Structure 1
Amino acid sequence: MDEQLVNRALLIFFGACVLGPLSGALLGWKKGFESGIALGCLVIGLTGLAMAGWVALQRQASIAGTEVVQGRLVEFVEETHKDAKGQRTTTIAPIVEYTAPDGQQRRVKGLGGSQRHAEVGEAVELRYRPADPSQAVVADFQNLWGAVLGLGIFGLFPTLFGLFFVGALRDARRGRLSREEATPAQQHRRTRLTVIANVVFLGGFVITFVGDDVARSLGAGFMTIGAGALLHFVAQSLPPAAAFQPRFILVIVGLGFGVFGASAWVLAG
Structure 2
Amino acid sequence: MEEFKRLLKRLAEEDREFLRGVLLEAIGDSGAEELVETLLRSPRARARLAAELAAMITIPLNVATKDDIKALEAKMATKEDLQRFATKEDLERFATKEDIKRLEERMATKDDLKALETRMATKEDLERFATKEDIRRLENRMATKEQFESLAISVEEMAREFVEWFLKQRGIVCSAQRLLLDEEYEFDVYCAAGDVAVLGEAKVRCGPNDVERVVARVEEAVRRWPDKFPGRVAKVLYCQLAAPKAVEKARELGVWLIETRRELTPLQL
Higher-RCO chain (CA-CA 8 Å, sequence separation at least 6): 1
Compute the TM-score of the two structures, normalised by the length of structure 1: 0.18
Compute the TM-score of the two structures, normalised by the length of structure 2: 0.18
Larger Rg computed on CA atoms: 2
